[in-house]
Structure 1
Amino acid sequence: MTFKPPKISSSEITPVRDWLRRREFLTMSAAFAFAAGLPREGHTAPLAASSSDYTVPDKLTPKKDVTSYNNFYEFGLSKDDPANKSDDFKPAPWSIRVDGMVAKPTTFAVENLLKLFPPQERVYRMRCVEAWSMVIPWDGFPLTAILDRVEPLGSAKYVAFESVVRPDEMPGQRGVFQSLSWPYVEALRLDEARHPLTLLAVGVYGETLPSQNGAPIRLIVPWKYGFKGLKSIVRITLTAKQPKNTWSVAAPSEYGFYANVNPSVPHPRWSQATERRIGAGGLFGSSRVPTLMFNGYSDQVAGLYSGMDLQTSF
C-alpha cells in the first residue's frame, strides 16, 4: 500500500465557512486528539491542562508562501528551488527505521504510522535562522508516540534523525550543485524529543505534505531555528552520546547543536534580534518585529535548559 490522500466524495467536503471556523472545532475536540491526552500547543500561553493554552492566535502564513518559499537544500540553495525542482521526488512508499538504544527496534511504514497515530492539526510559529518566520498549520502527531513504541533504554540520552539520500531525484545532492554532506542529519536531547510540542508532520494546510516541505514525514520543533526540522526522515536512532548535526559540522561558528531561538545570540553575519513575517503585507512587505526568546514558547520549554549557559550552548 502506498501513502495517498484519502478519496473523499464531494458531499463529505467541509464547507468553506466551516473550514474557516475550524480552530473553534479543533479547540473543542482537542481533548480527544490522542490516546495519551496530549494538549494542544501555542507560543503565547503557558503549558497547562487546558487545550486552549496551546492555540496560536497569529494570522496564518498564506499557503502559497509556505509551499514556495523555504529551505530544502537537497533540492537546491534558492528559496524557490524546493518547489521548482522536486517534481521527480517519490515520497511513497516510505518507511522509517527506529533503532539504537531501544528495546524494540522497529521499521514503520508511513501508512501504518497514520493508522496508529491519526494526525491532528497543530498551528506553529516557525522561525528561520535567516531572520524570517511563518505561522503554519501542520498536521501530525507527537514524536514521543513513536519513541514510546520502541521503548528507549535508560542509557539513551539523544535522538538522531537522518534524511533520505536520492541524488537522482534531488538535484542538490549531486554534482556541482551539491551544497552539503549527505545524508542531512539532526538530533535532539531525549527530553526535547519527548516534549509535547515536538511533532512529526505528515501534512500542511489540511493536505498531504508536499515534496518541497519534507514529504512524506518531517520533524517540527517550534522553539528552535528551522534547520533543526529535518525533512523526509528515513531513520531515527537513539544514542548515549550527543550526535553531530549537519550544520554544526559544516559551520560550527554559526550553527550550534541546540539552535534554540535566542535574540541575544547574533548569527556571525546578521542579528537575530528582529524577524520578518513572511506573507504579512506581501512576501517582503512586512516590517520587522522583535524576536521572542524560544520563539515565544518560553513558558513551555525554558525549564528544559535550566542552569545552562545559552550563550555558549547556542
Structure 2
Amino acid sequence: MALWRYPTIPTSEITPESLYRERRQFMKQSAGLALAAALPSMVTAAENPIKLPDWKQQLASVPASPFSSDEPLTDERTITTYNNFFEFGTRKRDPSDWGHYLKTDPWLVKVEGEVARPGVYDLNELIRPEWLEERIYRLRCVEAWSMVIPWSGFQLSELLKRLEPTSRAKYVVFETLYDPQQFPGQKQETIRWPYTEGLRMDEAMNPLTLMAVGLYGKPLPNQNGAPLRLVVPWKYGFKSIKSIVTIRLQEHQPVSSWQQLAPREYGFYANVNPQVSHPRWSQASERRLGKSGRQATLMFNGYAEQVAHLYKGMDLEKNY
C-alpha cells in the first residue's frame, strides 16, 4: 500500500471559528419553529412517509455537545475532497469524483444478532431528532494526517439501548453497503467486500462514540459516508466505517476488513498510540491538514481522559 500524499492547503481557506460560531448561533435562534414542528413521534416509512421527522432540516440548529474540541476547524472543501473511501477508489479525490453514484434515500439498515429488536429499519426510524447534537472531533488517519470536523449525529449508545442488546452481546459489528454499481471501487479486489468493522460493547457504549449523519450543519456528503457512519474519535479513521447498512451484535470478536488484509499492520483496536509505530511509518507526529508543520500525536488522539480506563491492564502494543 502506498503512503498517500497530503495537499498543501493555505490557512486562509480554513473557516474562522468565530465566524462559524456566529453563523451557528443565528441558525439556532431562527430555527425554533422549524425544530418544534419536526419532533412528532416516529412512524415507519411504510405507514406514512410524509410524516417522517425531517431530521435533515434540523442539522443546522442542533445543540453543541460538551464533548467537542475547541480546536480550529478544517475547512469544508478539504473535508469533502480529501478522503479515504476505497469503495469509490483508492485515490483521495475518488470519493468526491464518484460519490454521485451512491443513492442514499431511501436507506435501510439491517439489525441482527444478539438484540431483542432485530429487523430491517428505514434510517428515519432509527434516528430520534432529540438525540441529535453537534460534536467537533479530531479524526486521525493512520497515514499521519488529521482533521478537525464538526460532525452532527447521535450517541451510538442511544441506538443500542433502543435495540435492547442481550446479555450475550459482547461486540458490535458494522458493514458498509456492497453494490459495485454504486461503488465503482468495489469492482476491484482492494479488500474483501463488504467493508466490515467492529467495536467492543463498552467502546460502543462510551458517550464519545458517535453515529454521524451530518457535518458543517448539513447532511453528510456521499464521499464522507452518507447517510450514516460511525465516528470513534480516539481510534484511527479506518475504524469509523461509512455508509452503514448492517449492525450486528455478537458474542465473539469479529475480524475487520483491514485485519483480513494486513493483520501485521492493522489490529482490531486501532487506538491512536504514538508510542507504537506503524510498520512503515512513525505515528509519533501528525500533519493537521490546513496547517503548516507537524505536531505531536496525542495518546488516544487526545481523548485519554474519557477512554483510557477501557484498556486498563491491557498491553497496548500487543492489542494494537
User: For this structure pair, what is the TM-score category when the shorter chain's length is used for normalisation?
Assistant: 0.7 to 0.9
Residue 300 of structure 2 aligns with which residue? 294
Post-superposition CA distance 1:63-101 (Å, at most 9, x none): 000000010000000111100111111111001111101
Task: Give SS of 2:259's match.
Answer: helix
- Residue type of the alignment partner of 2:22: D
Partner of 2:207: 196
Q: Does 1:79 align with 2:92?
A: yes
Pick one of 270, 279, 286 that aligns with 1:259: 270
TM-superposed deviation, 1:116: 5.2
Letter in 2 for 1:221: V
Equivalent in 236, 256, 259 of residue 248 of structure 1: 259
Per the alignment, residue 142 of structure 2 pairs with 129
Structure 1 distance, partners of 2:20, 2:141, is: 31
Would you say 1:274 and 2:285 are equivalent positions?
yes
Structure 2 matches for 1:123-272, cutoff 5 A? 123-174=136-187, 177-272=188-283
Which amino acid in the other structure matches residue 152 of structure 1?
P
Q: Which amino acid aligns with 1:269?
A: R
Note if contact 2:65-2:133 (Cα within 8 Å) is conserved in structure 1. Answer: no
Paired AA for residue 101 in structure 1: E
8 Å CA contact retained: 1:119, 1:202: no
Q: Which amino acid aligns with 1:141?
A: F
TM-score of the pair, normalised by structure 2 = 0.80
Higher helix share: 2
Residue equivalent to 1:18: 22
Within 5 Å, give how 1:32-43 maps onto structure 2.
Answer: none
Distance in 1 separating the partners of 2:116 and 2:196: 23
Question: What is the RMSD computed on CA atoms of the aligned residues?
Answer: 2.0
Indicate if the aligned counterparts of 2:175 and 2:247 stay in contact, CA closer than 8 A.
Answer: yes
Instruction: Count matched residues.
Output: 268
Identity %: 53
TM-score, normalised with respect to structure 1:
0.81
Kept in 2: contact 1:68–1:83 (CA 8 A) = yes
Q: Per-residue deviation at 1:304?
A: 0.2
Residues of 1 paired with 2:82 and 2:97: CA distance?
10
Provide the C-alpha distance between the structure 2 equivalents of 1:307 and 1:272, rounded to a whole number of angstroms: 22
Tell me: CA distance 1:22–1:60, structure 2 relative to 1, closer, same or farther (3 Å). Answer: farther
Deviations 1:236-291 (A, max 9, x none): 101110001000110000000000000011000000000000122xxxxx201000
- Alpha-carbon separation, structure 1, partners of 2:22 and 2:123: 29
- Give the deviation of 1:61 after TM superposition: 0.2
**Distance in 2 of aligned mates of 1:87 and 1:23:** 28
Which whole-Å CA distance do the structure 1 matches of 2:258 and 2:149 have between them?
24
Call closer, same or farther: CA 1:17–1:102 in 2, change over 3 Å.
closer
Alignment correspondent of 1:42: none
Which of 73, 92, 117 aligns to 1:104? It is 117
Q: Conserved in 1, the CA contact under 8 Å of 2:65 and 2:134? A: no
